[in-house]
Amino acid sequence: MPTPKQMEKLAAEAARRPGPSAAAPDAPLPAEYWESVLKDPRASATVAQARQRRLSDIQRHVLRISCRRCERTVEIQTADAVRLYGANAVWKDVAQRLLDNTCQQRTGRHEEDGCWPAFETP
């Protein structure tokens, strides 16, 4: 059984490998991303809830999101996030935008482009 750290590495390696994608043209993230999330042993209802949470519901002072592909971590003060995106913004959308603003994975191909946020349990 691989450790969560090894799983993370395998997922990152799989993400770097080019391959056919089943992503719908209008899907914000490829199907492989959701598969990797669902296969993640840490995936749970708590993680799903964390993604759906609105900024106004988050009690923490600092929000942190990391990318499964380029392994960056972006931090933002909750107050700043509210100012930029509004208190009703959903955390998963904000997280995606934060990563996309600085993402290094720009291939120009829709199915490979962009960051894959790795949501942690709060």
Residues that bind Zn ion (CB under 5 A): 67, 69-70, 103, 105, 115
Closest to Zn ion by CB, 66 vs 82, is: 66
**What secondary structure does DSSP assign to 66-97, as a single string?**
EETTT--EEEEEHHHHHHHH-TTSBHHHHHHH
Find the length of the chain.
Answer: 122
Closest to Zn ion by CB, 69 vs 92, is: 69
The least distance separating Zn ion from the CB of residue 1, rounded to whole angstroms, comes to: 27
The least distance separating Zn ion from the CB of residue 116, rounded to whole angstroms, comes to: 7
Structure tokens at 8: 């993370």
Write phi, then psi, for 25 (nearest 5 degrees).
-60, -30
Closest to Zn ion by CB, 37 vs 67, is: 67
CA 21 to chain centre: 18
Closest to Zn ion by CB, 69 vs 81, is: 69
The least distance separating Zn ion from the CB of residue 56, rounded to whole angstroms, comes to: 27
Which residues, including other chains, have CB under 8 Å from residue 21's CB and lie 6 or more apart? 30, 31, 32, 111, 112
The least distance separating Zn ion from the CB of residue 95, rounded to whole angstroms, comes to: 11
